[in-house]
Amino acid sequence: MIVLLKNCYVIKDWKSKPEYKNILIEGNRIVKITEENHVEGANYVDLKGRVVIPGFVQTHVHFCQTLFKGQADDLPLLVWLRTKIWPLEASHNEESTYLSALLSGMELISGGTTSACVMESVRHGHMTGRAIDELGLRAVFGKVMMDYNDTPEELGGMPKEFFETTKETMDSSMELYKSWNGAADKRISYALMPRGILTTSEELLTEIKEVSEKYRILVHTHACETWEESKLVQEKRGLTEIKYLDKMGLSNERLLLAHSLCIDEEDIDILARNDIKVASCPKANLKLASGVAPLAKLYKSGVTISLGSDGAPCNNTLDTFEEMKFASLLQKGIYKDSTLMTAEETFKISTIGGARALGMEMDCGSIEEGKYADITVVDFEDLGHIEPNISNLVYSGNRNMVTDVMVHGKWLYRDREFTSLDREKIIYEGKKALISLLDRFERRG
């Protein structure tokens, strides 16, 4: 199908000013950004003077946790994991995992996000894959990998449902890889996702390194999220996370680290020198009192940084607009320098920065001829803005501005309505699934 998006302003990337142009899309790709008003055989879509931007790319989200919103608030990270999140995740069944993923995707899409990196729980990963397929979202996902070889007492009480040997967690991950990598016309990719060093043996990390090298698979893990956890890693492994991963041979362009908050200059040098990517989660880090990642230092050092909402119970929204505001304003405030993390730089890390972090920069993250048609349409008139620019988008924008979202050349969200999802039914079924899940959680004692 050929589509011509007309009567719109286009912000092609973080360096661009709005231009009054039309966008020609053929199949799932952008063919031309043009002033032509007529293309033979095209379907015309009048965007009524709205602004087209690249779809946001989130690089660290836990879809399986969205059903737990409001169930695990005001707790420090390790207590939050041990007493709430892990038992709640262990209480999931296939249906609740599927519905939690659908609710996550709907929240991301309606807020302008077109791509996401999704770290799921130990079990039911195939249901997340099914949900991503049905949502139409572009995604890299993986089940969390843990083999508990060196779990400290502070992380005790691990649900028995999570117990896997090194072989079991590797085999189950590769089964999901075979089923989902390249699925949905290459819209879905699979990654290897060890949860973190404290719950991952050296044997498993070595296997992950070898498989990643063989198949060129992205590796995504948590690292340097809290000083307490980093101290435990140093006690158990002799080095903090980034230095330890470097020692294990995992430092390369396929490594994506969530958080990277508790780091020093040597860590930053390792990240920059090895092209390791960072997924920062500003709101989640604040809510769990972890602190503030040194994004401005990372950015100036040439590290590819990107944004994620993390899990809904520690945020509690999946909203890229909010992450952009927090990412920029925190750096200015912490370092007392208003020039840090400009609006343009912040928009960059939420679009092409995310695409680079996932190895997708040749296909998405900006509006360019030849790239996938992954776009978000926003209405600045809702805010009374005179000028539709990046500064207003970052500092004044919100998810309510989003009117339309297209992924892979298909409208997923049109005039603020989902095109192929029954929102009311999914919310209704999600509420029922939560009641059942909480009952299973309570019965665990």
- pLDDT, one tens digit per residue, over 265-293 is 999 999 999 999 999 999 999 998 999 99
What is the distance of C-alpha 15 from the center of its chain? 23
Classify burial at 159, counting beta carbons within 10 Å of its beta carbon; exposed 0-12, middle 13-18, buried 19 or more.
Answer: middle
8-state DSSP, 55: P
Q: Residue 146: which of 111, 122, 174 has the closest Cα? A: 122
Q: Say whether pLDDT at 262 is over 70.
A: yes
Higher pLDDT, 385 or 317: 317
- Residue 187 has phi, psi (to 5 degrees) of -80, -25
Local confidence band at 73 (pLDDT 50, 70, 90 cut-offs): confident
- Residue 180 has phi, psi (to 5 degrees) of -120, -20
Tokens 């060890």 map to which residue?
A: 194
What is the distance of C-alpha 306 from the center of its chain? 9
pLDDT tens, position by position, 90-126: 999 999 999 999 999 999 999 999 999 999 999 999 9
Local confidence band at 156 (pLDDT 50, 70, 90 cut-offs): low
Tokens 């087209």 map to which residue?
A: 52
pLDDT tens, position by position, 298-308: 999 999 999 99
Higher pLDDT, 326 or 158: 326
Q: Residue 309: which of 106, 149, 125, 104 has the closest Cα? A: 104
pLDDT for position 445: 66
Please check whether residue 398 is in contact with residue 321, taking contact to mean a CB–CB distance below 8 angstroms: yes
Q: Domains in the chain, please, with CATH?
A: 2-54+372-418 (2.30.40.10), 56-357 (3.20.20.140)
3-state secondary structure of 113: strand
Please check whether residue 408 is in contact with residue 372, taking contact to mean a CB–CB distance below 8 angstroms: yes
Local confidence band at 28 (pLDDT 50, 70, 90 cut-offs): very high
pLDDT for position 75: 83
Burial 84-118 (b: 16+ CB within 10 A, else e): bbbbbbbbbeebbbbbbbbbbbbbbbbbbbbbbbb
Q: Say whether pLDDT at 149 is over 80.
A: no
How many C-beta neighbours within 10 Å does residue 433 have? Answer: 20
Write down the pTM of the prediction: 0.95
pLDDT tens, position by position, 230-242: 998 999 899 999 9
Mean pLDDT computed over 175-198: 97
Classify burial at 150, counting beta carbons within 10 Å of its beta carbon; exposed 0-12, middle 13-18, buried 19 or more.
Answer: middle
Mean pLDDT computed over 412-434: 97
The reply to whether omega before 43 is within 30° of 0 (cis) is no
Please check whether residue 409 is in contact with residue 373, taking contact to mean a CB–CB distance below 8 angstroms: yes
Distance CA 346, CA 353 (A): 9
Q: Say whether pLDDT at 148 is over 80.
A: no
Higher pLDDT, 358 or 85: 358
Please check whether residue 252 is in contact with residue 275, taking contact to mean a CB–CB distance below 8 angstroms: yes
Percent of the chain with pLDDT over 90: 84
pLDDT for position 372: 98
pLDDT for position 313: 86
Q: Say whether pLDDT at 10 is over 70.
A: yes
